[in-house]
Amino acid sequence: MMDYEKRLRALNGLDFTDLITRVHQLFQRPDVAKRWRHRYSYIAVDEMQDTSRLEYDVMNVMWPGNHVFAMWRLLFKLFMNGEGQIR
């Protein structure tokens, strides 16, 4: 893992965890959180059951005043048949 981290930093790269962490840090600023919250009226969250605490915290900043649809596997199984068609 150390080589991966060194290589990533040498390339000034970010991985998914870095991106989520930085967004979370930015959303701690009320002005940034408010601006992004008001930018979107509808939010869709796929695979909610696989969401980490950090991802949940980022989404939680966006939720107040917005319409949220969170898809869980159970809901997916209820609403879709095996061919990907809505029942």
- H helix runs in 1-87, sequence order: 2-10, 16-26, 30-39, 53-62, 73-79
Strand partners, 43: 68
pLDDT, one tens digit for every residue, the chain (87 residues)? 679 989 988 999 999 999 999 999 999 999 999 898 888 888 888 888 888 899 888 888 888 877 888 877 665 666 665 555 544
Both tokens assigned to 16: 């998914």
Helix (H, G, I), strand (E, B) or coil at 40: coil
**pTM (two decimals):** 0.67
Listed in sequence order, the residues at least 6 apart from 37 whose beta carbon sits closer than 8 Å to its beta carbon are 61, 62, 64, 65, 66
